C-alpha cells in the first residue's frame, strides 16, 4: 500500500473551523461519508479516511459528546467500550499484526466529538517506528483504491457480525 503526504493545513482547518464531521456523517451528509463497518442504536464504527496504519478505525457515539469521562454515564461508557472491544477484536481477526492501539484524541479546539481510534500495528515494524511514531501524520497516510477500501470494510463487517453472533 502506498503512502501520500498528509495535508495537515487543510485537515487542521476543517478540524478547527468546519462542521463536526462525525455529526455530519451520522446525519447522512454524502460529503462526510465513510465506510461504516458497524452501527447500532448509539454508536458507529468506520474506516478512518486518513489511516496511518492499515485498517485504522474510529468508534464514536452517535450523539455529540466531547468528554470521554464526564459526558458519559458509567453504563454509556461501558457500552461504548464494548463496541470498541468488538471492533478491535474483529480488526485483529482481519488485519493480523502484533498490537492493537486504542486511544481517544480531540479537544475543544478541534475534532471535539468523542471518538476512539483503533489501530493495528503490523508485524515487523522496528521498535523505533512503533507507538507514537507509527501514529504520526508526518509519516503520511495510506492510500486505498475504492475497491480495496470496500473489500476491507466488507471483511471487517463480516468479522464484527461473526463476533457479535458468537457473543
Section 66-82 average pLDDT: 96
- Is pLDDT above 90 for 46? yes
pTM for the predicted model, two decimal places: 0.96
Chain segment 16-38, per-residue pLDDT in tens: 999 999 999 999 999 999 999 99
Cell readout for 33 is 461519508
> What pLDDT is attached to residue 7?
95
> What pLDDT is attached to residue 1?
76
Calpha distance 71→66 (Å, rounded):
7
- Is pLDDT above 90 for 152? yes
pLDDT band at 140 (very low <50, low <70, confident <90, very high): very high
pLDDT band at 98 (very low <50, low <70, confident <90, very high): very high
Section 92-103 average pLDDT: 97
Give the HSE-up count for residue 1: Cα atoms under 13 Å, Cβ half-sphere: 18
> What pLDDT is attached to residue 167?
83
Class of residue 84 by CB neighbours under 10 A (exposed 0-12, middle 13-18, buried 19+): buried
Percentage, residues of the chain above pLDDT 70: 100
Superfamily holding 3-166: HIT-like (3.30.428.10)
- Is pLDDT above 90 for 77? yes
Task: Quote the mean pLDDT of the chain.
Answer: 96
Percentage, residues of the chain above pLDDT 90: 96
Neighbours of 99 (CB within 10 A): 14
Question: In degrees, to the nearest 5, what angle opens at C-alpha 160 toward C-alphas 37 and 107?
Answer: 50
Q: Domain ranges in the chain?
A: 3-166
Amino acid at each position: 500500500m502506498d503512502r501520500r503526504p498528509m495535508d495537515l493545513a487543510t485537515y487542521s482547518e476543517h478540524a478547527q473551523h468546519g462542521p463536526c464531521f462525525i455529526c455530519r456523517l451520522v446525519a447522512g451528509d454524502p460529503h462526510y461519508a465513510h465506510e461504516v463497518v458497524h452501527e447500532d442504536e448509539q454508536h458507529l464504527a468506520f474506516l478512518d479516511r486518513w489511516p496511518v496504519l492499515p485498517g485504522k478505525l474510529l468508534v464514536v457515539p452517535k450523539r455529540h459528546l466531547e468528554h470521554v469521562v464526564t459526558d458519559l454515564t458509567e453504563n454509556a461508557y461501558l457500552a461504548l467500550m464494548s463496541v470498541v472491544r468488538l471492533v478491535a477484536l474483529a480488526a485483529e481477526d482481519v488485519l493480523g499484526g502484533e498490537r492493537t492501539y486504542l486511544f481517544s484524541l480531540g479537544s475543544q479546539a478541534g475534532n471535539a466529538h468523542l471518538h476512539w481510534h483503533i489501530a493495528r500495528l503490523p508485524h515487523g515494524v522496528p521498535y523505533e517506528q512503533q507507538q507514537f511514531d507509527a501514529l504520526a501524520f508526518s509519516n503520511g497516510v495510506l492510500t486505498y483504491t475504492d475497491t480495496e477500501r470496500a473489500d476491507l470494510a466488507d471483511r471487517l463487517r463480516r468479522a464484527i457480525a461473526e463476533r457479535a453472533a458468537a457473543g
